[in-house]
A and B are shown apart, each in its own frame.
Chain A
């Protein structure tokens, strides 16, 4: 599995309230919610993002609320992968459970700039910066989490193991 696209770069501690403000959470419609993705810190994001683009943050990306709507709107916007130095723990869980690929890599987060063209190989964890001719190695997922991703998310993985009828 691979991704390649243009980078949207954000600072440390991007919180779920700026990813998708709670004032819109009276809806569960992913497409409708995605129209407001990042609008409080980057009003131009929604107009500029293209399928396959890559979001890069710093430390503690996705901190704050447990809202699963946050990774969901990023994915629905067309973003193929999120890279950060670290992810807040509930966002990390939610991204895996809903199938938004995420990678933790300090070097990539430091070096990659907004607008760079970046390719990601999820199997090896290698992130290649085509604009700057550099590459960075991200931590691969532990096998337990790879199983969930391979199954297409948590609910599919439970179903494949026999559902809730023990």
Chain B
């Protein structure tokens, strides 16, 4: 029996010719990642265990993104602890305010993660990097600490579900609608412990930003990782960007999949996940009439340039509805600067929105847009759990940047094809 793309990358990093689903392996890591919430816990574990060196200072990434610029004294202390650790061990990829971005927008943009890599990050959305053809998965802080010290991690080799993509996305339908649609089909534990392998002729028509968004939310189906094959789109993205040589792994023709799910991209509608689980999907049309108080466009899921462009195209020259608060957060400083140079920030402000520097802030109810009791937000973020963005009696509806921007204009959830 052949191996899937994920299994091949894992086998190569474990120094094995072959691995099987369920097998426990120790694998070599190409990159290790943490943020300002998870890294302090990892540093404590690292120090408690008595380690006094890191495996490779060029392969550890510490990104301050959740609560920065620091929202309060306690978060400032956590950032300070990360900064001191990065200085002590001369960590090359330490990203502080001014250079930072939301980690999963930043690392691909900076060419730090590349095809064929094996990556762990102490953040659940580390699965994003499967978009460039890497095996990448979220872990906890203790795993990060062990990874920083040894450059190794243990894994159980995952079985796989294949998503065979055909057709082409319609206008104003994006990667976010694809992944919300898939989570709606299989549920929030539909891919538990497994890899989601995206294949088929439909892949070629998906941009890198679409693929990053799709892999980003693999964890919302319980998956260990999501992964796309390396094709012309990938090579064009990595060329001139990837800091290291990349390696292409392909699934064997006789690779074993537990299940194959057909997805016709041309049939996917703008999709919205209602509270309080990402699997509660409805079309944007079915959601119309639901009044909103706030719109958030940004996050590791949808803070990239194409996301900002979609918001710009819908908001330019218009004004958001009275009583709606519009919050736009470009994912990295580079995205922020490009929006500025393109005149998009001006259009957002003229439309009545605020624009923040990169932060995870509102997505996890940190700051920069917390909801009060009874308030409702349409957001391009990734989770709509109870209390996720604020009060336990507030509500988050997940959607694409186009749907969120269209809803900002009308004051209620709106199919983006209706405002143009």
Decide: A15 near B138, CB < 8 A? Known: A142-B24, A158-B49, A159-B49: no
For chain A, give the interface size range: 35 or more
Decide: A155 near B189, CB < 8 A? Known: A17-B387, A28-B41, A93-B139: no
User: Could you tell me the distance between the alpha carbons of A60 and B41 in the complex, rounded to whole angstroms?
Assistant: 24
User: Is B260 interfacial (CB 8 A cutoff)?
Assistant: no
Q: Which of B78, B140, B142, B188 has the most CB of A within 10 A?
A: B140
Q: Are A40 and B188 in contact (CB under 8 A)?
A: no
Q: Are A89 and B222 in contact (CB under 8 A)?
A: yes
User: Is B308 interfacial (CB 8 A cutoff)?
Assistant: no
User: Could you tell me the distance between the alpha carbons of A156 and B49 in the complex, rounded to whole angstroms?
Assistant: 7
Partner of B387 from the list A21, A27, A93 (CB cut-off 8 Å) is: A21
User: Is A18 interfacial (CB 8 A cutoff)?
Assistant: yes
User: Is A137 interfacial (CB 8 A cutoff)?
Assistant: no
Decide: A64 near B383, CB < 8 A? Known: A22-B364, A26-B72, A158-B149: yes
Q: Are A60 and B188 in contact (CB under 8 A)?
A: yes
What 1/0 flags go to A137-156 for Cβ under 8 Å of B? Answer: 00000101100000001111
User: Is B385 interfacial (CB 8 A cutoff)?
Assistant: yes
Decide: A69 near B67, CB < 8 A? Known: A153-B142, A164-B51: no
Decide: A66 near B41, CB < 8 A? Known: A89-B224, A164-B150: no
Q: Are A88 and B189 in contact (CB under 8 A)?
A: yes
Residues of B149-180 at the interface with A, using a CB-CB cut-off of 8 Å, are 149-150, 154
Chain B residues in 8 Å Cβ range of A25: 37, 66, 366
Nearest-CB residue, chain A, relative to B126: A66
Q: Are A63 and B222 in contact (CB under 8 A)?
A: yes
User: Is B250 interfacial (CB 8 A cutoff)?
Assistant: no
User: Is B107 interfacial (CB 8 A cutoff)?
Assistant: no
User: Is B132 interfacial (CB 8 A cutoff)?
Assistant: no
Decide: A93 near B143, CB < 8 A? Known: A17-B383, A27-B74, A164-B51: yes
Q: How far is the CB of B357 from chain A (nearest CB, A)?
A: 19
User: Is A23 interfacial (CB 8 A cutoff)?
Assistant: yes
Q: Are B75 and A26 in contact (CB under 8 A)?
A: yes
User: Could you tell me the distance between the alpha carbons of A40 and B149 in the complex, rounded to whole angstroms?
Assistant: 36
Partner of A22 from the list B53, B143, B365 (CB cut-off 8 Å) is: B365
Decide: A64 near B386, CB < 8 A? Known: A97-B140, A155-B142: no
Chain A residues in 8 Å Cβ range of B149: 158, 163-164
Q: Are B386 and A40 in contact (CB under 8 A)?
A: yes
Q: How far is the CB of A75 from chain B (nearest CB, A)?
A: 13
User: Is B145 interfacial (CB 8 A cutoff)?
Assistant: yes
Q: Are B193 and A89 in contact (CB under 8 A)?
A: yes
Q: Are A60 and B189 in contact (CB under 8 A)?
A: yes
Chain A residues in 8 Å Cβ range of B24: 142, 144-145
Q: Which of A15, A68, A94, A158 has the most CB of B within 10 A?
A: A68
Q: Are B40 and A23 in contact (CB under 8 A)?
A: no
Residues of A113-166 at the interface with B, using a CB-CB cut-off of 8 Å, are 142, 144-145, 153-156, 158-159, 163-164
Chain B residues in 8 Å Cβ range of A22: 37, 66, 364-366, 388
Decide: A155 near B145, CB < 8 A? Known: A17-B388, A26-B75: yes
Decide: A159 near B50, CB < 8 A? Known: A18-B387, A40-B387, A164-B150: yes
Q: How far is the CB of B143 from chain A (nearest CB, A)?
A: 6
User: Is B392 interfacial (CB 8 A cutoff)?
Assistant: yes
Q: How far is the CB of A108 from chain B (nearest CB, A)?
A: 18
User: Is A45 interfacial (CB 8 A cutoff)?
Assistant: no
Residue pairs across A and B with Cβ atoms less than 8 A apart, 20 shown, are: A13-B188, A17-B383, A18-B386, A18-B387, A22-B66, A23-B366, A25-B66, A26-B67, A63-B188, A65-B124, A66-B139, A67-B140, A68-B38, A88-B189, A89-B222, A90-B124, A154-B146, A155-B49, A159-B50, A164-B51
Task: Please give me the 6 A-B residue pairs with the lowest Cβ-Cβ distance, nearest first.
Answer: A26-B74, A94-B140, A68-B140, A60-B189, A22-B364, A97-B142
Q: Measuring CB to CB, which residues of chain A are less than 8 angstroms from any residue of chain B? A: 13, 15, 17-18, 21-23, 25-28, 40-41, 59-60, 63-69, 86, 88-90, 93-94, 97-98, 142, 144-145, 153-156, 158-159, 163-164
